[in-house]
Structure 1
Amino acid sequence: MKRFLKKHKRPVTTSAAVLLLCAALTVYLVINPGKPHASAEKEEARLVETRRLVYEPVAVIIRGEGFIRSARSLTVTAMTGGKVINTFEGLKSGLEVEAGQELVLIDDEEAANNLALARMELIRSTASLLSAVQGDGTLYSRWSDFFSRLSPEADDLPPLPEVESDREKLLASNFGVLSAYYGVREAAIRLGYHRITAPFPGVLEGDGVTLYSNISQGAPLFTLTDPLNLELTAALSRDELGMINPDTQEVLVYPGEMRDISLPGRLVRVDKTMQQESQTVKVHIAFRNPDSKPRFFPGNYAEVEIPGISFESAFALPRALLNPDGTVNTFEEGRLVKYPVEILYTQSETVILAPTLPEGSRIVFTRLQSPLQGMALRRIEEK
């Protein structure tokens, strides 16, 4: 026995120490039966921000997005061929031009000669008609007045006398007056193809045109873009479209998500067809960029805010604070209480709530990952 105890002295000592510790713990629990563990003495409260619920008028803002484009853009091609005898600074891209300014002149000598010949033919045929109707006072008087206003050099072509009878129409046709008259008009149009002017003020885009080069009919010359009068097309859902205030006069256009600058615009058109894939309707916004701000150049991405209808009594809540089950978190006597709410409208990151909660309730404005009914809360800010 002594040999055994000597051999196993350390394990026996350790076992005895464990038995003594268990006995001491048992005695402590018997003496202090009503005291829980220290970690359970007090539930830890979450610090949250709260705001007092106040119902007030809330105006809906409908937000859309799209790319800015010019309200007026025209691609010009050559309607006739020939040698370029004049251009406005080579039609280089980026040049600003005024309405009516001559941009390209194609050699028009042949076209001008054809117009002069057509006018002479009209004068000749009208003179022949006058010789045939000298005995008809009224008819002769009307065509004589027309003849007196004809000239080989005149730019303006007087209107034809109104034909009052089949006989008069037959005479004008037989003497070639009608065909000669429309021949002059066609020749004048063809001559106009040689001189190209700007139909509106704008900026040129293109590869330029070389002076004295030969161009072919149908060759692209330039694109004229109005950089001041702009449009933006945004796609809205049916619900968003129904929320637009019918008295809307002005909208605001922002360069993307930036809100430091904006330009006023107008809602000018609404499509009457629904896009099948996206189930949206396109609305068109017109606005001006008079100071040529680069952020509003055509091609830029932009956002638009359209005034919507107004709810007389509502509360705007950040969308992130709405629980997945359609409830919001409130603060009541240091505890979290969930209440179901009625949503009037959802716009972007905000939900507009109907007045279903008692006014003065404290809404928890701290986003909680796992909000539990009745969990302990502590306010960190009064608002």
Structure 2
Amino acid sequence: MSRTLKKAGIPMIIILLAIAVMFALASLKKQPEKEEVVTKDFLVDAKPIEFGTVDFLVYSQGSVQAKNKTMLSTQVSGRVASIADNFVEGGFFAKGDVLVELEDADYRTDLLLAEAELARAQASLDEEKARGMVAAEEWRSFNQGTPPELGLRKPQLAREQATVKAAEAGLQRAKRNLERTKIRAPYDGLVKTRNVDLGQFVTLGSQLGEVFSTAIGEVRLPLTDDDVAFLDDLSDTNPKVILSTDIAGKTVQWTGALVRDEAILDGKSRVIYGVVEVVDPYLLRSEAASNAQPLRFGRFVSAQISGISSPNIVVLPRNVLRLDGTVLTVDENKEIKINFVTVQRTDEDFVYISDGLNPEHQVVMSAVPNPYNGMPVRFLGDEDKEPSANEIPANNNAIEVK
């Protein structure tokens, strides 16, 4: 029995000794240091509020076209006798150049006939004047008093005078018809299309081709009501317009002026079209740099229109404006202020604020989750400074950090 107790007691003694050693070692372990964990104020990025005068810009786009377009047509009929070398698609010409010439033999004959008819009518008039003078002399030799108009052949004289006027009109018509066999350019321009060729017979009113004037180019720009609100009155001033496009990887610009709007809203798009004029788009009359590019008709361009100027405007990135129309600022105590602002305009990148911001505050540029008025914050660079009065411990109990 005692042997059995000895066998069972030895393991228990070993276990008790192990527990005693464990407690002894635990008592020798150094107690961990206790540190206070401080919750810092929310870190924000902010910049001072700057007020200034903003020259607003309005952006649009459109295609270049000629201000004057003419479909050349004939005023007489005949066979095409000659065509000018520059009367080809894309050919340039000057005002008064003969582009197409018709056979004029018949019209020269008509001119001779008209001249002969005028000469005959003039001779008849001279003869009638002589007869009237003879009749007047005869009346005075045989009668006393006022002679009748018929006796002096005045009706016959008036008839011959009318015949002369008709002959003169016929002569003028014959001269015009002869001149109309030469179709001349109405202005300096270029040929858009040509619809006639040598030997072709054309009738009165036949369309020979379409030509464009190169004096002034136009660009029709669609403008919304918001765009128009930021433009000056076009009846008083013509805003400057910068037209641009990319050519061979380079941005090329031209200068024009917004001269008018078309006064009627487009029924489908509900926009109004403004018209920009560019003088001498093909650089034919003005001195230009050697590397200057002509503004060709049909080119698609972007337009930047100079608009009105507004003072005391704050320009901020668009992401600073919150969905509820507020902007966060930081006051002199480094506390958040939620400001309801008046937005004069927004575009793709910026928001233009005219009222609602304190110039002594700073605008918060970074995102702040769940902000509230009086929320303490800190700025970049404050990490190395002493904790502010707003920085408080997370709780009153020390937290062990192992």
State the TM-score, normalized to the length of structure 2: 0.65
Q: How does 1:202-281 map to 2 (within 5 A)?
A: 202-207=189-194, 209-246=196-233, 248-256=237-245, 260-281=251-272
Distance in 1 of aligned mates of 2:302 and 2:260 = 17
Query: Is the radius of gyration larger for structure 1 or structure 2?
Result: 2
> Identity over the aligned pairs, expressed in percent?
20
Once the 2 structures are TM-superposed, how far is the Cα of residue 231 of structure 1 from its aligned partner? 1.0
Q: Secondary structure at the match of 1:89?
A: coil
Partner amino acid, structure 2, of 1:373: P
Once the 2 structures are TM-superposed, how far is the Cα of residue 219 of structure 1 from its aligned partner? 3.6
Distance in 1 of aligned mates of 2:277 and 2:259 = 6
Once the 2 structures are TM-superposed, how far is the Cα of residue 196 of structure 1 from its aligned partner? 0.9
Once the 2 structures are TM-superposed, how far is the Cα of residue 251 of structure 1 from its aligned partner? 0.9
Q: Which residue of 1 aligns with 2:164?
A: 177
Distance in 2 of aligned mates of 1:171 and 1:242 = 69
Distance in 1 of aligned mates of 2:301 and 2:267 = 24
**Which residue of 100, 104, 107 maps to 1:108?**
104
Q: Which residue of 2 aligns with 1:75?
A: 71
Distance in 2 of aligned mates of 1:235 and 1:170 = 67
Q: Which residue of 2 aligns with 1:363?
A: 363
How many residues get paired? Answer: 315
Once the 2 structures are TM-superposed, how far is the Cα of residue 107 of structure 1 from its aligned partner? 0.6
> CA distance change for structure 1 residues 311 and 189 in 2, over 3 Å: closer, same or farther?
same
Distance in 2 of aligned mates of 1:345 and 1:134 = 89
Distance in 2 of aligned mates of 1:331 and 1:257 = 44
Distance in 1 of aligned mates of 2:111 and 2:177 = 9
Confirm whether residue 200 of structure 1 aligns to residue 187 of structure 2: yes
Residues 61, 307 of structure 1: 8 Å contact kept = yes
Distance in 1 of aligned mates of 2:317 and 2:132 = 89
**Which residue of 280, 283, 287 maps to 1:291?**
283
Distance in 1 of aligned mates of 2:359 and 2:159 = 89
Structure 2 stretches lacking a partner, 5+ long: 1-31, 134-153, 285-291, 382-402
Once the 2 structures are TM-superposed, how far is the Cα of residue 244 of structure 1 from its aligned partner? 2.1
Once the 2 structures are TM-superposed, how far is the Cα of residue 319 of structure 1 from its aligned partner? 3.4
Q: Which residue of 2 aligns with 1:5?
A: none
Q: Secondary structure at the match of 2:355?
A: coil
Q: Which residue of 2 aligns with 1:131?
A: 127
> CA distance change for structure 1 residues 212 and 278 in 2, over 3 Å: closer, same or farther?
closer
Distance in 1 of aligned mates of 2:155 and 2:107 = 32
1:107-159 superposed Cα distances (whole Å, 9 cap, x missing partner): 1111121122123212322332233235889xxxxxxxxxxxxxxxxxxxxxx
1:164-189 superposed Cα distances (whole Å, 9 cap, x missing partner): xxx89992577422332322233233
Distance in 2 of aligned mates of 1:201 and 1:117 = 36
Q: Secondary structure at the match of 1:131?
A: helix
Once the 2 structures are TM-superposed, how far is the Cα of residue 233 of structure 1 from its aligned partner? 1.8
Residues 94, 189 of structure 2: 8 Å contact kept = yes
Confirm whether residue 307 of structure 1 aligns to residue 302 of structure 2: no
Q: Secondary structure at the match of 1:176?
A: helix
Residues 343, 355 of structure 2: 8 Å contact kept = no
> CA distance change for structure 1 residues 231 and 125 in 2, over 3 Å: closer, same or farther?
same
In angstroms, what is the RMSD of aligned CA positions?
3.8
Once the 2 structures are TM-superposed, how far is the Cα of residue 351 of structure 1 from its aligned partner? 3.1
Once the 2 structures are TM-superposed, how far is the Cα of residue 372 of structure 1 from its aligned partner? 3.1
State the TM-score, normalized to the length of structure 1: 0.68
Q: Which residue of 2 aligns with 1:352?
A: 352
